[in-house]
Structure formats: C-alpha cells, structure tokens
Homo-oligomer: A and B are copies of this chain.
Amino acid sequence: MENFIFQAPTKVYFGKNQIQHLPKILREHGRKVLLVYGGGSIKHNGIYETIQSLLADEFQIVELAGVEPNPRVDTVRRGVALCRQHGVEVILAVGGGSTIDCAKAVAGGAFYEGDPWDFTQDGSVIKRALPLVTILTLAATGSEMNWGGVLTNLETKEKLGFRNPLLIPQASILDPTYTFSVPAYQTSAGSADILSHLMEQYFDRTSGTQILDYMAEGLMRTVIENLPVALAEPTNYEARGNLMWASSWALNSLIRSGKAGVWSCHPMEHELSAYYDITHGVGLAIITPRWMKHVLNGETLPYFVRYGKNVWHLTGSDEEIAHHAIQKTYEFFLSLNIPMTLPEVGIGSEKLQEMAQQAVKHSEISTKAFVPLQANDVFAIFEASLEPMVF
C-alpha cells in the first residue's frame, strides 16, 4: 500500500425526504443561491417545486439551467457570470454528475480571473471557491462526494477532467426516491459508470491492498445485484438506495487511496464522448470488456482470477476463470439493453486512429496504466468495439 492522505468531509444526508434539511444546510453559507440544473427533469418530478417552496421565503435564487449531459465550458462561463452579477454566496447543484461537475467549475470560476477551461490543465490555479451543496438525482459519477469533475470543449473536441479539494461539496442530499423516475437507459449507463470507476481503481498493481480490493469487490457486487432489480422495479427503494450510495463510495477516493496506478477506460471513453457526445456510461460499457481482453496476459492473469472468483463467483482453472470473468462482464452489460458496439452509438471507423492518438496525448495511459497502452493498443480496443464480442 502506498502512502496517502484521505479525507471525505462531505456531509451526506441519505434517505427519504432529507431535502427538509436544505434551508439549514444552505443558511450556513449564505442567502444568495445559484441553482444549477440540467434539462428540466427536476421540474417534472417535483424536486424543483419542493426546492422553491423550501427556499422561497428566505433565499434569493438565481438559475443556471440547461446544463448538458457532457457539461460544456460555455455553460460554466455563463454560471460564473451569473455568480459575479448577483453576488452568489452558495451554489446548489440539483442533478447527476454533469450538473454537479458544471457547478464545481462555476464554484471555482467565481473567484478566478482567467477562463475556467484552464482548470483542466491545472486545477491548482483555483485558490478559492464558492461553497457547493448538491442534491443527487442520478447514481453514477460520484461527483456528490469528491472534488473532481469533467468538462467538454466542443470547439477543441476535448473532454478533460479537473480537480481541486476546494471543490468538494459541503453537503449532499441523497434521496433514492429522486432516482425512481430515471429511465432504464440512464439507470444502466449510470451503473456502468459506477462499475467502471471501481474497475479502474481495482485493476492496479500496487501490492498489499486487500482492504481496498475487498471493498471494491463488495461495491461491484452491490451494483451487479441491485441494478437488475432497479430496472425491473424502478421504484424499488432499496435497490435505488444501494446504487446511489455505491456511486458515492466508488469514487470518493477510498478505493484508490494507497494505490499508485492511473485509469485506462475513462481516457479512452472521453475521446468518444468528446468527438461524438455519446453517453459516458455507455461508452465505458462498450470499451471495458474489450480493454479487459486486450490486457489479459500472463502477468495480469492473477488480477482477473481474483476478479472472477470474488465478483462473479467463478470456478475452474485460472485461465478459464479469467476468460469467463471477461465474458460475464460483457454479458452483464449486454443484458442491460444498452448499445454494446460503437456503430450502435453512431461511431464508425473514420476517426478511431485520431481518437486513439488523443487518448494517449490527454492521459498517462501509455506510461502508468495497469497495462500501459500506446496509440495502436487503444486503436485495437476501439476497433474491437466495432463488432460484438465472441467468446
């Protein structure tokens, strides 16, 4: 295990009707609130109305609406301008990871002289940030309990991460009932994102990390068991609750603290999203099993054997378990009725080479990944994603 510093200070209000605490939570930070949200689903499911009725008397609300599924730096700039114009004191993000990521960039941008896109190059330029409170409506990115985010720049075709400890939410309200209305497609994509976060951190060569590996395996099992229930019964509170809490723990730094490696599938998927604006979780579901197959070799075999045994309860020879584990991963995603090839999401072979180059350029995948991948490796994984997998 490597040395690390761990801190997850976000105060999480988990459960039914925890939104009742919202006025008390916001009051600690101020009365002028920037309300950040996405495409308006919170107006259909009643959350918007509840917020208005809870806050109307005491708070002054400015709105940044229409945050995109892959949030754009233009929207961040718009939010920063609103903060300055209205003297915003606290940001309330209501939505999934995209909305929260956007709100984080706005929180940092409010006190930053330059352009928020700079954060993707060096998050440490953020020296001060507005306090952020979130209400989560989609179990996926874990942004509700960590200090990172991802922004998209459509002009430069870039989708890049940013991070700074100042951006961690002060408080997050996690009410599983708010995810009852999430459609099957988004529920599946969100869970694929959670699983990918866990796998990115789990497949790592640092030794002596049993505690982290067992926790990651437990979180993977949680998703694998609860997702089919949530899809069959969208209002199953326990299934939605388990997925929601798993999203936070998959990426609040517990599972990676003590590990040394960098991620593989996210850097590849970010190119797909940047070029084609596809759903992040679906891109991850497509890439992950192909990546597994590409990196399975004599050296990585033990990691896949452990994964197969502890996550999928497989038995057999080591080689059988490893191959079977990859197949189970693929079949699990396939069972969700989400696209599992690139053509199904509108991606052909045209830009695969270019995107492969970019993935290597934008990340440390070629030097520090579980298995370092050069552009030709990434291209091979992209190419394998054009066709269904055969086992």
Contact = CB atoms under 8 A, between A and B. Distances in A.
A249 B8 CA distance: 13
Contacts of A2: 15
Interface stretch (A71-79, A84-92, A216-224): A216-224
Contact of A208 (B13, B237, B246): B237
| Count of chain copies | 2
Nearest to A13: B5
Contacts of A17: 3
B5 A8 contact: no
Nearest to A7: B11
A11 B253 CA distance: 13
Interface in A1-34: 1-18
A208 B242 contact: yes
A112 to B, nearest CB: 25
Interface string A178-215: 00000000000000000000000000000110110011
Interface residues of A, number: 41
A257 interface: yes
Contacts of A221: 210, 214
A14 B5 contact: yes
A226 interface: yes
A238 interface: yes
Contacts of A233: none
Nearest to A257: B14
Interface string A40-75: 000000000000000000000000000000000000
Contacts of A246: 211
A245 interface: yes
A239 B208 CA distance: 7
A214 B249 CA distance: 12
Nearest to A9: B9
Interface in A229-248: 237-239, 241-242, 245-246
A228 interface: no
A225 interface: yes
